[in-house]
Amino acid sequence: MELTFVQVFSLPKIKPIYVFYVVIAYVLTAFIWWTVLHLRSNTEWFNQQVEIIEFKHQTTVSETVEYQNVQEKYQRKNWMIYGEAGVFFIMLLVGSFWIIRGFKKEEKINQQQQNFLLSVTHELKSPLASMQLGMETLQKRKLVEGIGNKILNNNIADINRLKTLIDNILVSTSLDNKNYYLNISDVDLPYLLEKIATRFNALPANKNRIKILSSPNYIIKADEMALDSAIANLVENALKYSNDIVEISLEQLNNTTKIIVSDKGEGINKSAQKDIFKKFNRLGNEMTRKTKGTGLGLFIANQLVKLHNGYINIENNKPKGSRFVIYLPY
């Protein structure tokens, strides 16, 4: 097998950040050398002036006016060199900090986008493969009564899963482009929570795991579809990371409405909580992660709640798990 010129002489792939480190090291070395040369040159000039003054007066000249003027000029130039060096060093330090920060931010975004593509690919392939298998089974075999309906129900669940994924991508794009607009109306919160719980409990994988603890009767002004999406994303996230009951409760505190989604999973570390609502953010490695998702759910929930002038807070659930609390103006 013959190698082409490009294959033989192709350069190894080097991360830009490493090139930047080399450039900074070179600039810093050159800068230090420049400073040393200027200080040395100033010292040589001072010694020459002292020799000239001593030759002129043929005696010790440390107390003469000429010597004092030369010494003052020498010290002033030294301070000027130190000042320029200090300013340059600070500028180099600040500039390097921002550039390195930008590199790391870009690298993190690229990694998150790669994770998103991997997760979306998996989220698309799994239901499609399941639907294909179900349809082929219906096509090729005579099934016992009831099995066919079960396969059709599973296919409908997979279709709804794909629809949810597509809806999340569309909503995320609208939120990013600042063109998601609310349709405000009277929303019956207890009815909305019951509707969400019924929808999730109807799925075979959940086995009636959604439980509503308290639901006082009152109505708020909100976008029902947006609020439904925000709460549903929190519920779906709780179901992924917990094998136990997920509880939903509703409280009113002064002029604030609290919608609480609690799970009994492993919880979220304090260090990870600050990034949990960022787009594409998911804990762990995408190649080894077992939980489904695209990293859009919590981002969408947080943005939709913000559009209602509210916010979401994360709390530790006792004895274990997490509590996502939506605060909305009543």
* Domain extents in the chain: 14-111, 185-329
- Return left, alpha or beta for 32; rule: phi > 0 is left, psi -120 to 50 is alpha, else beta: alpha
* Rounded Cα distance, 294 and 7, in Å: 37
And the tokens for 276?
């949990």
What is the reported pLDDT for 40?
92
Residue 13: per-residue pLDDT: 67
Asked: is 185-329 a CATH 3.40.50.1820 domain? The reply is no
3-state secondary structure of 45: helix
β-bridge pairing 219-222 and 185-188: antiparallel
Dump pLDDT digits (tens) for 285-320. Answer: 444 445 566 778 888 899 999 999 999 998 887 778
What pLDDT is stored for residue 234 in this prediction?
Answer: 92
Closest CA to 35 of 75, 85, 78: 85
Q: What is the pLDDT of residue 193?
A: 92
Q: Residue 16 corresponds to which tokens in the numbers above?
A: 């830009």
- For residue 156, the cross-strand partners are none
pLDDT of residue 306: 93
Mark the ranges of the chain whose per-residue pLDDT is less than 50: 1, 8, 285-289
Half-sphere exposure of 260 (CA within 13 A, CB side): 20
The model scores a pTM over 0.85: no
> Residue 60's pLDDT is what?
65
